[in-house]
Structure 1
Amino acid sequence: MTDAPFDLVLMTDDHSEIDAIAEQAQRAEAHGFANVTMGETTGWNIIPVLTVIAERTEEIGITDDVLSPYARAPTVYGQTALTMDEITDGRFRLGLGTSSPALAERWHSGEFDRPLRRLRETIDIVHEVYEGGSVVYDGEIYDLGGLSYDRSVPDEPPAIDVAALGPKGTELAGRFADGWVPQLFTVEGLEDRLEDLARGADLGERSTDEVRVSPLIRTFASDDPERARSIAKQMLSFLIGAYGPFYGNSVAEQGYEDTVAEIRDLWEDRDTAAMADALPDDLLDSVAAVGTPEEVRSRLETFVEIAGVDAIRLGFVSGMSQEDKEFTMDAVEPMIE
C-alpha cells in the first residue's frame, strides 16, 4: 500500500466549543496527519480558531478550507497569512476559493460577480503583500496602492491553495497557486481535470510539480458499513442538490446529470430522505470512501495512485459521532504512517 500525506478536515459544526475542536486537531497530529483544516461559513471566524489550534499543536500544518475573496480585502488576506506564518512557525497554508452566491450575497453583502477574476486578483495582491514593498495594483476588480506591509516578510511566505471544480478555476490554480483542492470527483473526472491544471501550469511557465494536489474525499469507516453508507448519502445528496450550484453541476458533468436533476427536484420539496435514496451506490463509491476499514483504505488508495495527486484531504461526513470519527482515523492511520 502506498504511503501518502493525509490532511484532515475538521467539522466546526460538530463542536460546540473551541477547546473541543482543538482537541480534535491534537488527535489528528497524533495520528500523523500532515495538515488540519476547516471551513468558514456563518459560524466561527476560523482565523482565531486556527490560532488556538496552532498554540496547542507542535508539528501539524495549519490551513483553512477555504476563505472567500468576498469576505475580506485581499491585503487583509496577505496580512492574515503572514501573521499566521509567524504564529505557526511556518506551518500555515492560505486556502482561497470563490465560495458561493449565497455566502457572497446573503452573508458578505457583495454581488457574486466575476468570481474567478476576483480570486485571481486576490492571489495577485497577496503575492504583492508577500513581496514586502509598496502594494500597487490596478486591476479590473481592485484598485489600490501606496501602503506596505509594515513587518518583515519571511523568505518563504505561506503557500496559497485554491479550491476549484471547473476547468477555468482549475487552470487558474495551475497557473497562480501552490495547491489545488478539488472535491466530489470520480477518478476519471479528477484525471480529466488534472489536464486543466497542467494547461494552467504551462500558461504560468511552471510545472505541475509546483502545485500540491490534494483532493478532498469524504470518508467514513465503520464496522456497520450500511449505516455509514446511509449517513454518507444524506450528506452527499445535500451537497449535490442543495449546497449551491457548483457541486451539483460538477457531478452532473461527470456522467450523473439525471441523478443530479432528480436530487435537485426533491430538494424543492425539502425531501431530504428521498434525496439520499436517489443517490446511487455507484456514485457514492466513485466520489467517497465509505464502508469497512478495508473498503475505505482500498477506495482511498485508488485516489492516492492517480498520477499528479500529492496528498489526500480526508473529510468526515455530517452525522458521524466522535466515536465514528476516531474509528475512521484509526482505520486510515496505516496509510499515513
Structure 2
Amino acid sequence: MTERDVVVPDGMDSLDAIADLAVRAESLDYDRLSVPEVTGRDAVTVLATLAERTDDIGLSNDVLSPWGRSPAMLGQTGVTLQEASDGRYRLGLGASSPDLTERWHLGSFERPLRRVRETIEILKQVSAGEQLDYDGTVFDGGGLRLRGVEPTEVSVDLAALGPKATELAGRFADGWVPQLFTPDALSERMDDLRRGADLGDRDPADLRVAVTVRSCALADADRARNVARRQLAFMIGAYGPYYRQSIARQGFDGETDAVHDAWREGDREAAVDAVTDEMVDGLVAAGSPDAVRETVQRFEAVDGVDAVRIGFFGEMTAEQRRRTMDVLA
C-alpha cells in the first residue's frame, strides 16, 4: 500500500509550531515527516526535537547539501539521529543548487553529481563503522573511524530531477525523492531509476520512491489554484534553473520561458498569468478537496511509487495546511 508523508514548510513560526504539525501528522497516521533546510533552521536540530516529541512517525529531511557538511559529518549525523529516533530516520541528500551553494555555503558548484555520489559512499563507510578509506575525485584520504556511538545503517534518499541524477539515485542511494513531475513524466523518469539500479546490481523494488506533491485543498477551489499558480511562478522564475528545465522537458517549454522571462523583467503578475491550468493540473494538487484527493491518487497509481509526500505552498495559512492534511490523511 502506498504510504503518505508530510513535508514541513519552510519558515514556520517556531520549533513548537513544527512539533505541533508533526504530532498532528502522527495522530492522522501519516507515515513520515520531512523537514527542510535552506537558510533558516538547521534540519538536524529540528529532527532531534521531533524525535523527542513524537513516537512512531518516520523522520526525514528534504535535502542536506553536500557542501554544507562534510561526508563524514553526514555519516555521524545519520547515526546519531537514528539513535535519537529509535531507527525512524532517513537522510535526504541532493546536489542542491548553484545559488545556495555559492551564495550561502560559499562553495563552488562544480561536478555536483560526482560530489553527491562520493558523499553517499563515504557516509555509508562512516555509518557502518568502517575505517574511512576513500580514493575519489572530489574526496581522498581517511584513517579514522566512528567512535563512541554504535554504527547503524543510514538510508539515503536522493532528491533528483534529471535523468543522470535519477540514475545515480538508483545506483547508489536507497530512495528517490522527485518533485514537480506530472504522473506521466514521473513514470518515464522511472526508467532512469531502474537503469541506475541495474548498473548497481540492485533491485529497484528495494528503493523507496517518494514523490512530493504540493497540495492545497480548499472549499474555494479557485483560491487554492491561484495559490498554486503563484508558487509555480516563483519556482520557475526565481528558484534556480533545475525546476524550470525539468518542467520544460515535460511539454511546458513555451510556458516556462514565458514565466521566466516575465519574472526576470520584474512583472510578477504576468509570470503568474503564464502558469497554465494544464501546469496546475499536472504538477501539483490544488483545488476542491475531491479534486485534490483524485490528483494525489493519480500519483499513487504510478508504477514504482511507494509514497506520496504531501507538501504545501508557501503562502498557505496554518489552518489551510491543517485542512489539507485532514483531507489527505
Output the TM-score relative to the length of structure 1. 0.96
Aligned 8 A contact 1:218 1:314 in 2: yes
Q: Secondary structure at the match of 2:144?
A: strand
Aligned 8 A contact 1:12 1:21 in 2: no
Name the counterpart of 1:95: 92
1:57-91 deviation line (CA, Å, top 9, x unaligned): 00001110011101110000000000000000000
Name the counterpart of 2:269: 273
1:1-337 equivalences under 5 Å are 4-13=2-11, 15-154=12-151, 157-333=153-329
- Residue segments in structure 2 that go unaligned for 5+ positions in a row: none
Give the letter for the 2:14 counterpart. Answer: E
Give the letter for the 2:54 counterpart. Answer: T
Aligned 8 A contact 1:62 1:92 in 2: yes
Q: Secondary structure at the match of 1:12?
A: coil
Aligned 8 A contact 2:115 2:138 in 1: yes
1:88-136 deviation line (CA, Å, top 9, x unaligned): 0000000000000011001101100000000000000011112212101
- Residue segments in structure 1 that go unaligned for 5+ positions in a row: none
Structure 1 runs (4+) deviating above 3 angstroms are 151-154
Distance 2:17 2:45 in 1: 14
Distance 2:303 2:88 in 1: 26
1:271 CA drift (Å):
2.0
1:220-260 deviation line (CA, Å, top 9, x unaligned): 00000000100111001111121000000000011111011
Give the letter for the 2:154 counterpart. Answer: P
Distance 2:124 2:160 in 1: 19
Aligned alpha-carbon RMSD (Å): 1.0
Aligned 8 A contact 1:232 1:318 in 2: no
Distance 1:138 1:228 in 2: 51
Distance 2:108 2:268 in 1: 29
Distance 1:133 1:193 in 2: 34
Distance 2:288 2:238 in 1: 28
1:149-186 deviation line (CA, Å, top 9, x unaligned): 113445x5121100000000000000111110000001
Give the letter for the 2:83 counterpart. Answer: E
Distance 1:18 1:130 in 2: 28
Aligned 8 A contact 2:255 2:274 in 1: yes
Identity %, equivalent residues: 47
Give the letter for the 1:297 counterpart. Answer: R
Distance 2:316 2:38 in 1: 20
Q: Secondary structure at the match of 1:32?
A: coil
Distance 1:169 1:133 in 2: 27
Aligned 8 A contact 2:124 2:154 in 1: no
Aligned 8 A contact 2:237 2:264 in 1: no
Q: Give the number of equivalent residue pairs.
A: 329
Distance 1:212 1:271 in 2: 40
Output the TM-score relative to the length of structure 2. 0.98
